[in-house]
């Protein structure tokens, strides 16, 4: 089964360590994913150095991207330990995304991924080259991505293949929590021993060395100063750069903030409890959500209790191998999955509906999301532990404030903390100096962004960091989860305004127009299984839509047959009797029905493309309840009723010839077929 503890993924490219457990009939799997984390460390050379060597891109280019035109790549070679410049060296993968602006600014935006252990290049090349993303157009400067030491494309990589092998081997097994935890520890131990055999100094992969890499990168690429963007753990890393290497910084952006002075691990359960409260309160304040899901928290508790008694099986497909697994999902796992989903701003509006689906044992949408979590092979678990265990493992489970925390969250939180301590005992890295836990004091202009629904780095964390920064601008978005930039057009606009002049408060007027999530409910969505079929390319589910298209084509044949008949009579010299007003109206009704059908198909396809580009979770459930969609849906049945009446009158009053009446009757059946398939699709509600 799938049980994820709290340090979890997020779809837009922000990931977190995930422990997927099969407790009592479930499997424990450690999956990873970005997330906030903090570290610090040893003594450094005063001026970190490195050399940059251009090279072919070491990753598959996103669709539409052209190497040389859109981006350039290479390797940054730096000391394994910056305090030993003549010692062993490592290589960091670098990708420079070129600005499209005619007046490109000289100071780039350098982006830092979270985790720790996430791949900046993998995440942000996909995000920035997504057709729906406008960040590159807003920012008139190059964007520099580099995979932090130990992550996916850098060398050496501390990715633990042993963990992925465990996932593949046990994902369908029913294991107790103790069995799952033991197997996971064995995989971590095997990874640690392999890295030791490869002579990799895992203690060198920490935030202080990482921060020195940022300074070395700026100098090696010839930049006088850089603008530094960090998300999740990347915000902690950015704070290390602010403390140790402020001279390279023009400005800093902290998105989903991890304070250096706070241990996010022990605060995790309380952060998770807070976001559930925010979710339930937001739903209760929304008329449509409140009406559709009146007892949302109790529904969640009931689902958790039921699934813990009787776990469900959820088919999930590994998109890399194409293999489908029948994973076991218990109640604790279900709650953890929901928490993971809250990382993604796009999926927050769907969470009440997902809970409601679960009350009916419907996990189809969840089955589409889980592979993104379970089968993420890009995350460097080894780098994650090197960072976390050096800086944040100085706690006991009793340090976590669990008073008042919901029971299912408290249980999972305690297990997660115990799990970190067990794994850090295996990983055995040098601890960083206590100074790394001190607040960072800086006058570097800093933009601080938080999301109301962030499950692991609450807005209060941003306030903590801002207290010791003399030029900080702090904003909280009412509709985002973990990471605002890239998921909020308003956040992107504020970022661009800030980069234009970091010494001046950015234009944040768009925040006045921001509202909370538009929850998926019958008040906002026209539910239809065809939407899910389109989203998942399920051929069997597209049968109703195919039937509609077939009936519509038959209806549209009138657009060809009637003009051809007129041309034929014109050529042959035949003369048709002057049609009555009723017969003329009957034909115009057919034409209008065809136009309406075409408008419906066009509206569906355009809406689908727009939602896909916007990563809108609604597309798994249906179509937005817009006036255009409603008009096209309900006009066709009304026209069909009128067409049926005209067909009856055509026979009663002798309109047209007998073949003409037969053909009109066929068109009537086509209109009836269109309306019937709309009902089949479930949209006539």
pTM: 0.89
pLDDT in the model for residue 46: 57
pLDDT of 7 above 90: no
To which residue do tokens 């493309």 refer?
609
Q: How far is CA 5 from CA 85, 96, 163, 272, 457, in A?
A: 40, 35, 16, 11, 15
Confidence band, pLDDT 50/70/90 cuts, at residue 181: very high
Q: Is 457 helix (H, G, I), strand (E, B) or coil?
A: coil
Average pLDDT value over all residues in the chain: 91
pLDDT in the model for residue 615: 83
pLDDT in the model for residue 627: 73
Question: What letters, b where the CB count within 10 A reaches 16 and e where it falls short, cover 244-271?
Answer: bbeebbbbbbbbbbbbbbbbbbbbbbbb
Cβ count near 305 (within 10 Å): 12
- Token digits of residue 221: 């690429």
User: What string of DSSP letters covers 52-95?
Assistant: EEEE--SSPPPTT--BTTTEEEEEEEEESSTT-TTS-EEEEEEE
Sort residue 330 into left (φ over 0), alpha (ψ -120 to 50) or beta. Answer: beta
pLDDT of 683 above 50: yes
Q: How far apart are CA 618 and CA 365, in angstroms?
A: 10
Q: How far apart are CA 207 and CA 212, in angstroms?
A: 8
User: Residue 76: which of 157, 155, 143 has the closest Cα?
Assistant: 155
Cβ count near 30 (within 10 Å): 28
Structural domain spans, the chain: 18-38+269-427, 54-162+201-262+435-513, 525-680
Q: Which of 2-11, 373-382, 418-427 has the highest mean pLDDT?
A: 418-427
Burial of 557 (0-12, 13-18, 19+ CB in 10 A): middle
pLDDT in the model for residue 3: 42
pLDDT of 216 above 60: yes
Q: How far apart are CA 383 and CA 99, in angstroms?
A: 31
Q: Is 524 helix (H, G, I), strand (E, B) or coil?
A: coil
To which residue do tokens 């044949």 refer?
557
pLDDT in the model for residue 575: 67
pLDDT in the model for residue 13: 37
pLDDT of 256 above 80: yes
Please indicate whether residue 129 or residue 17 has the higher confidence score (pLDDT): 129
Residue 615 DSSP one-character state: T
Enclosing H/E stretch for 146: strand 141-146
User: Which residues are paired to 77 by β-bridges?
Assistant: 51, 91
Phi, psi torsion values for 236, nearest 5 degrees:
-65, -45
pLDDT in the model for residue 86: 94
Q: How far apart are CA 642 and CA 462, in angstroms?
A: 62
- Token digits of residue 668: 């009537």
Q: Which fold has domain 54-162+201-262+435-513?
A: Rossmann fold (3.40.50)
pLDDT tens track for 618-648: 989 998 988 788 888 899 999 999 999 999 9
pLDDT in the model for residue 11: 31
pLDDT of 1 above 60: no
Q: How far apart are CA 213 and CA 403, in angstroms?
A: 41
pLDDT tens track for 65-112: 999 999 999 999 999 999 999 999 999 999 999 999 999 999 999 999
Q: Is 145 helix (H, G, I), strand (E, B) or coil?
A: strand
pLDDT tens track for 9-43: 233 433 332 222 333 333 333 323 333 333 333 44
pLDDT in the model for residue 17: 29
pLDDT in the model for residue 579: 84
Please indicate whether residue 565 or residue 471 has the higher confidence score (pLDDT): 471
- Token digits of residue 555: 């209806």
pLDDT in the model for residue 638: 96
User: What string of DSSP letters covers 232-290?
Assistant: THHHHHHHHHHHH-GGGEEEEEEES---TTS-HHHHHHHHHHHHHHHHHHHHHHSHHHH
pLDDT of 662 above 60: yes
Confidence band, pLDDT 50/70/90 cuts, at residue 440: very high
Confidence band, pLDDT 50/70/90 cuts, at residue 186: very high
CA atoms within 13 Å, Cβ hemisphere of 23: 18
| Mean pLDDT value across residues 365-372 | 92
Confidence band, pLDDT 50/70/90 cuts, at residue 576: low
pLDDT in the model for residue 539: 82
User: Residue 359: which of 289, 298, 280 has the closest Cα?
Assistant: 298
User: Residue 449: which of 429, 432, 435, 463 has the closest Cα?
Assistant: 463
The distance from CA 259 to its chain's CA centroid, rounded to whole angstroms, is 23
pLDDT tens track for 131-141: 888 899 999 99
Phi, psi torsion values for 232, nearest 5 degrees:
60, -125
pLDDT tens track for 196-208: 999 999 999 999 9
Phi, psi torsion values for 175, nearest 5 degrees:
-120, 150
Q: How far apart are CA 583 and CA 149, in angstroms?
A: 77
pLDDT in the model for residue 535: 82
- Token digits of residue 148: 């932090």
Q: How many residues does the chain have?
A: 685
User: What string of DSSP letters covers 479-522?
Assistant: T--S--TTT-HHHHHHHHHHHH-TTS----GGGGG--S----ST
Phi, psi torsion values for 108, nearest 5 degrees:
-80, 170
Confidence band, pLDDT 50/70/90 cuts, at residue 566: confident
Q: How far apart are CA 633 and CA 597, in angstroms?
A: 8
Q: Which of 43-57, 290-304, 629-643 has the highest mean pLDDT?
A: 290-304
pLDDT of 534 above 90: no
Q: ∠ at Cα 245 (240, 247), nearest 5°? A: 140
User: Residue 94: which of 116, 111, 81 has the closest Cα?
Assistant: 111
List of residues 6+ apart from 600 with CB closer than 8 A? 632, 633, 636
């Amino acid at each position: 089964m799938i049980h994820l503890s709290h340090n979890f993924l997020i779809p837009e490219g922000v990931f977190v360590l995930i422990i997927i457990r099969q407790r009592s009939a479930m499997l424990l799997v450690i999956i990873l994913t970005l997330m906030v984390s903090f570290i610090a460390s040893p003594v450094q050379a005063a001026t970190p150095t490195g050399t940059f060597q251009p090279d072919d891109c070491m990753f598959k280019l996103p669709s539409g991207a052209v190497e040389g035109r859109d981006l350039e790549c290479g390797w940054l070679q730096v000391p394994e330990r910056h305090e030993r410049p003549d010692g062993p060296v490592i290589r960091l993968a670098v990708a420079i995304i070129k600005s499209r602006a005619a007046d490109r600014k000289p100071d780039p935006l350098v982006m830092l991924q979270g985790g720790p252990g996430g791949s900046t290049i993998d995440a942000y090349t996909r995000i920035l080259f997504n057709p729906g993303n406008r960040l590159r157009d807003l920012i008139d400067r190059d964007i520099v991505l580099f995979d932090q030491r130990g992550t996916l494309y850098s060398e050496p990589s501390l990715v633990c293949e042993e963990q992925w092998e465990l996932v593949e081997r046990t994902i369908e097994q029913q294991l107790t929590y103790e069995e799952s935890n033991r197997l996971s520890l064995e995989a971590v131990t095997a990874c640690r021993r392999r890295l030791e055999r490869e002579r990799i100094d895992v203690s060198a992969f920490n935030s202080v060395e990482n921060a020195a890499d940022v300074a070395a990168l700026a100098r090696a690429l010839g930049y006088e100063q850089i603008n530094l963007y960090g998300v999740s753990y990347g915000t902690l890393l950015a704070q290390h750069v602010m403390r140790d290497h402020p001279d390279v910084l023009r400005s800093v952006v902290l998105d989903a903030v991890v304070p250096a002075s706070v241990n996010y691990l022990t605060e995790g359960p309380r952060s998770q409890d807070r976001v559930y409260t925010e979710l339930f309160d937001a739903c209760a304040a929304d008329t449509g959500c409140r009406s559709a899901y009146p007892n949302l928290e109790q529904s969640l508790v009931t689902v958790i209790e039921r699934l813990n008694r009787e776990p469900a099986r959820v088919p999930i497909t590994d998109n890399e191998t194409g293999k489908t697994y029948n994973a076991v999902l218990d109640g604790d796992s279900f709650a953890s999955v929901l928490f993971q989903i809250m990382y993604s701003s796009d999926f927050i509006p769907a969470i009440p509906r997902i809970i409601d689906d679960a009350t009916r044992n419907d996990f189809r949408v969840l089955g589409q999301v889980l592979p993104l979590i379970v089968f993420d092979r890009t995350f460097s678990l080894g780098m994650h532990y090197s960072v976390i265990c050096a800086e944040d493992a100085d706690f006991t489970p009793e340090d976590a404030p669990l008073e008042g925390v919901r029971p299912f969250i408290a249980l999972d939180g305690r297990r997660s903390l115990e799990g970190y301590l067990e794994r850090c005992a295996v990983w055995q890295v040098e601890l960083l100096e206590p100074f790394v836990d001190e607040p960072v004091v800086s006058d570097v202009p800093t933009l601080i962004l938080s999301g109301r629904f962030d499950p692991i780095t609450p807005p209060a964390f941003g306030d903590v960091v801002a207290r010791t920064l003399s030029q900080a601008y702090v904003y909280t978005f009412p509709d985002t989860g973990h990471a605002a930039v890239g998921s909020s057009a308003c956040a992107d606009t504020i970022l661009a305004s800030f980069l234009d002049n970091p010494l001046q408060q950015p234009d944040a007027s768009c925040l006045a127009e921001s509202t909370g999530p538009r929850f998926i409910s019958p008040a906002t969505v026209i539910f239809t299984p065809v939407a899910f079929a389109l989203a998942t390319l399920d051929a069997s589910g597209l049968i109703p839509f195919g039937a509609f298209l077939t009936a519509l084509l038959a209806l549209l044949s009138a657009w060809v047959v009637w003009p051809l008949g007129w041309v034929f009579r014109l050529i042959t010299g035949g003369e048709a009797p002057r049609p009555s007003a009723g017969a003329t109206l009957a034909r115009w009704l057919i034409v209008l029905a065809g136009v309406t059908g075409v408008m419906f198909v066009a509206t569906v396809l355009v809406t689908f493309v727009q939602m896909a580009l916007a990563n809108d979770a609604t597309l798994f459930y249906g179509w937005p309840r817009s006036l255009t969609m409603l008009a096209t849906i309900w006009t066709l049945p009304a026209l069909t009723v009128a067409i049926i009446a005209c067909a009856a009158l055509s026979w009663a009053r002798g309109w047209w010839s007998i073949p003409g009446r037969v053909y009109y009757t066929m068109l009537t059946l086509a209109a009836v077929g269109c309306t019937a398939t709309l009902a089949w699709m479930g949209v006539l509600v």
